[in-house]
Amino acid sequence: MVTAGVLHDTRMGQLKLILRLSIDDPPSRTAEALHPTHRLLTDGVAELAGTTPETVSQYHRSGALEAIQLHPRARLFFLRSAVDEWLASRE
C-alpha cells in the first residue's frame, strides 16, 4: 500500500489531520478535490460569486464555505458541490 504524508481537510474553519492515508482509496471529499472538474480555486469561486478572492477567503475563514487543503501551505480547493450550495444560500 502506498501512503501519502499528511493531508489537511478543512471543514467549517477547523483543521483535522489525516495520517497515513492510502492514495489508492482516499476519502470521498479528498478524491473529489483531486478531480480537476470538481474543484475550484479561490479566484474561480470569486468569479462565480461576483465578488473578490479576499471576500471568498473571509467566508472560508468564518466557516461559511468549506475547502480542502491537501498539504500545509498548499492552495485551497473548493469543492464544486460545496460552492453551489454556498451560492444558493446567498440568494
The pLDDT value given to residue 4? 46
pLDDT in tens, 32-83: 777 778 889 999 999 999 999 999 999 999 999 988 887 778 888 898 988 9
Pairing between strand 6-11 and 14-19? antiparallel
Q: Can you tell me which residue has the cell 444558493?
A: 88
| CB of 28 closer than 8 Å to CB of 37 | no
| CB of 86 closer than 8 Å to CB of 43 | no
The pLDDT value given to residue 12? 46
The pLDDT value given to residue 22? 56
Cell of 28: 470521498
Q: Is this prediction's pTM over 0.85?
A: no
Q: Which of 61, 69, 55, 64 is nearest to 83 (CA)?
A: 64
Q: Which of 61, 54, 60, 53 is nearest to 79 (CA)?
A: 60
More confident residue, 40 or 11: 40
More confident residue, 38 or 2: 38
The pLDDT value given to residue 46? 96
